[in-house]
Amino acid sequence: MAWEFETDPEYQKLLDWADDFVRNEVEPLDLVWPNEEFVPLTDTRRKAIDPLKDEVRKKGLWATHLGPELGGQGHGQLKLALLNEILGRSQWAPIVFGCQAPDTGNAEIIAHYGTDEQKKRYLQPLLDGELFSSYSMTEPQGGADPTQFKCAAVRDGDDWIINGWKYFSSNAKTSAFLLVMVVTNPEVSAYQGMSMFLVPTDTAGVNIVRNVGLYGEPDNEGLHALVHYDNVRVPAEALLGGEGQAFAIAQTRLGGGRIHHAMRTIGFARQAMDMMCERALSRHTAGSRLSEKQYVQGFIADSYAQLTQFRLFVLYAAWQIDKYKDYNKVRKDIAAVKATMPTVLHDIAWRAMQVHGALGVTNEMPLFKMVHGAAAMGLVDGPTEVHKATVAKQVLRNHSPIDDQWPSGWIPRKREEAQAKYAQFLELEMGNL
Ligand SMILES: Cc1cc2nc3c(=O)[nH]c(=O)nc-3n(C[C@H](O)[C@H](O)[C@H](O)COP(=O)(O)OP(=O)(O)OC[C@H]3O[C@@H](n4cnc5c(N)ncnc54)[C@H](O)[C@@H]3O)c2cc1C
């Protein structure tokens, strides 16, 4: 029985290379061009970034989120997890390795459901890192529940006309196209009545009303667009998959998106952990180093245990995806990993921040941003509470109620049964007394 926790030595060499490369060549980009990784490259920036992408390509680590059967050059989700935990340390690293969210998820559904023409027009440039995309699903009146969606498309001859509002369409302002989930048949349930369209962002009627920022970012300069689709006319060929298939497509996309966020979060949380340990060993106060205070030792031990549990869980979920090649079969564990992620990141980043004292909460350290990032992770690709409900439903499928007023773990009945089973020995014992 194979039951191992070791990385194939050849792939480990590539991971070691990626670790050094990200530290020395890519992490500095986060400081010279912060929060600009989704801005299309100027000629000057291209001169800096393209050679880095070429190095990644030469190592065979470019865009490894899709397998060869889908047009990528992936090694599978388990190996991607090991790579992504390195890339998760840096905002620019996923761009330099061609596997940034939300483009990975978007590429995945175009690869699965797109026509040859759609793949040529959208998938190939996306895999080549030549354009960005946006996923436009959430609406202002409700994100977690697609049955609330109102943005709709109606047929007009060979065309469709889209009208409605979408909220938090990340990267819409720099994207070449949007994947928009809309109601196409209000007569049936939302699960059968919604369709997905590929809409070029420069189509007439696509109005980005505001670019919403996260807390601390300047007004209207954020990444998350409020989009008004105002009589947006698209041809029938803009439909991705069949009419009414949007829900199934969204599940494919979100399965990959969620686990990839979790993979990167391992790297992000480990970075916070490393900072906490360095500070604990370096700072001397009240007669000893911080690392000698029991409370701080508790912070470190709890963080180590949380991070290790989380990492193993993510790797296990990734291994299952490779095994079954079906996100749906791994739904319970993907949802559980997604629901665990915000707490793990929050707890470790918060402890690291606390150990840094006042410096920790300043904008001269990345720790508060990590804590805040944990809050966002509790919503991106669906709220934690909804994922927990999914986990609970899946877990309960393997259990059944008992038709008795006493639970099956009730000791008096179990003892009686055990005594009946071993009655002859109990009687012998009694006789020997
Ligand atoms: C940084 C960031 C990036 C995002 N990017 C995108 C994107 O690119 N494209 C896109 O379409 N969307 C995006 N989103 C939106 C995200 O998918 C939604 O925020 C999420 O689905 C929740 O929807 P909502 O915000 O409308 O909250 P609501 O649906 O109003 O839910 C609010 C809260 O109610 C509770 N709740 C809701 N439903 C249930 C339930 N069934 N059971 C128990 N409790 C429940 C939860 O506590 C939940 O947090 C992004 C969000 C963030 C924060």
Answer yes or no: is the C-beta of 224 below 6 A from any ligand 1 atom: yes
User: Ligand 1 atom closest to Cα of 376?
Assistant: 53
Nearest residue (by CA) to ligand 1, atom 2, is 380
| Strand 224-235 with 159-170, pairing | antiparallel
Residue with tokens 């996306």: 126
Q: Angle CA(181)–CA(182)–CA(184) in degrees, nearest 5?
A: 135
Answer yes or no: is the C-beta of 388 below 6 A from any ligand 1 atom: no
Tens-place pLDDT, residues 100-159: 999 999 998 999 999 999 999 999 999 888 999 999 999 999 888 989 999 999 999 999
Answer yes or no: is the C-beta of 383 below 6 A from any ligand 1 atom: yes
Answer yes or no: is the C-beta of 379 below 6 A from any ligand 1 atom: yes
| Strand 177-183 with 133-136, pairing | parallel
Tens-place pLDDT, residues 327-371: 889 999 999 999 999 999 999 999 999 999 999 999 999 999 999
| pTM score | 0.94
CB distance 214 to 258 below 8 Å:
no
Answer yes or no: is the C-beta of 336 below 6 A from any ligand 1 atom: no
Q: Is the peptide bond before 102 cis (omega within 30 degrees of 0)?
A: yes
Q: Kindly list the distances between the CA atom of residue 198 and the CA atoms of 176, 273, 341, in Å, as whole numbers in the listed order.
A: 10, 41, 30
Q: Which residues contact 394 (CB under 8 A, 6 or more apart)?
A: 331, 332, 335
Average pLDDT over residues 398-417: 97
Average pLDDT over residues 271-276: 98
Q: Is the pLDDT of residue 73 over 80?
A: no
Structure tokens at 313: 């869980």
Q: Compute the residue count for the chain.
A: 433
Strand partners, 177: 133, 200
How far apart CA 346 and CA 335 sit, in angstroms, is 18
How far apart CA 272 and CA 348 sit, in angstroms, is 7
Query: Pick from 47, 95, 51, 97: which is nearest to 74 by CA?
Result: 97
Q: Which of 136, 385, 388, 391 to mutate to test the pocket of ligand 1 (most atoms within 8 A of CB)?
A: 385
- In this prediction, residue 72 carries a pLDDT of 75
User: Ligand 1 atom closest to Cα of 102?
Assistant: 8
Answer yes or no: is the C-beta of 170 below 6 A from any ligand 1 atom: yes
Average pLDDT over residues 416-429: 96
Q: Is the pLDDT of residue 179 over 70?
A: yes
Map residue 124 onto helix, strand or coil.
helix
- In this prediction, residue 66 carries a pLDDT of 84
- In this prediction, residue 424 carries a pLDDT of 95
Map residue 218 onto helix, strand or coil.
coil
Average pLDDT over residues 291-315: 98
- In this prediction, residue 433 carries a pLDDT of 66
- In this prediction, residue 209 carries a pLDDT of 98
> Phi first, then psi: what are they for 252, rounded to 5°?
-60, -45
| pLDDT bucket at 1, cuts 50 / 70 / 90 | low
DSSP 285: E
Q: Is the pLDDT of residue 252 over 90?
A: no
Q: Which residues contact 329 (CB under 8 A, 6 or more apart)?
A: 320
**382 CA distance to ligand 1 middle (Å):** 5
Residue with tokens 């690869």: 111
Average pLDDT over residues 370-398: 97
User: Which residue stretches of 168-216 are H helix?
Assistant: 190-193
**301 CA distance to ligand 1 middle (Å):** 32
Residue type at position 291: S
Average pLDDT over residues 390-419: 97
- In this prediction, residue 300 carries a pLDDT of 98
Answer yes or no: is the C-beta of 303 below 6 A from any ligand 1 atom: no
Residue with tokens 């977690």: 144
| pLDDT bucket at 324, cuts 50 / 70 / 90 | very high
Answer yes or no: is the C-beta of 102 below 6 A from any ligand 1 atom: yes
CB distance 248 to 188 below 8 Å:
no
Structure tokens at 358: 């006042």
**381 CA distance to ligand 1 middle (Å):** 7
Q: Is the alpha carbon torsion for 32, 38, 44, 46 positive or negative? A: positive
- In this prediction, residue 228 carries a pLDDT of 98
User: DSSP string spanning 315-359?
Assistant: HHHHHHHHHH--GGGGHHHHHHHHHHHHHHHHHHHHHHHHHTGGG
- In this prediction, residue 68 carries a pLDDT of 81
Strand partners, 425: none
What mean pLDDT is reported for the chain? Answer: 95
CB distance 56 to 47 below 8 Å:
no
**379 CA distance to ligand 1 middle (Å):** 5
**387 CA distance to ligand 1 middle (Å):** 11
Answer yes or no: is the C-beta of 389 below 6 A from any ligand 1 atom: yes
Average pLDDT over residues 87-111: 94
Answer yes or no: is the C-beta of 227 below 6 A from any ligand 1 atom: no
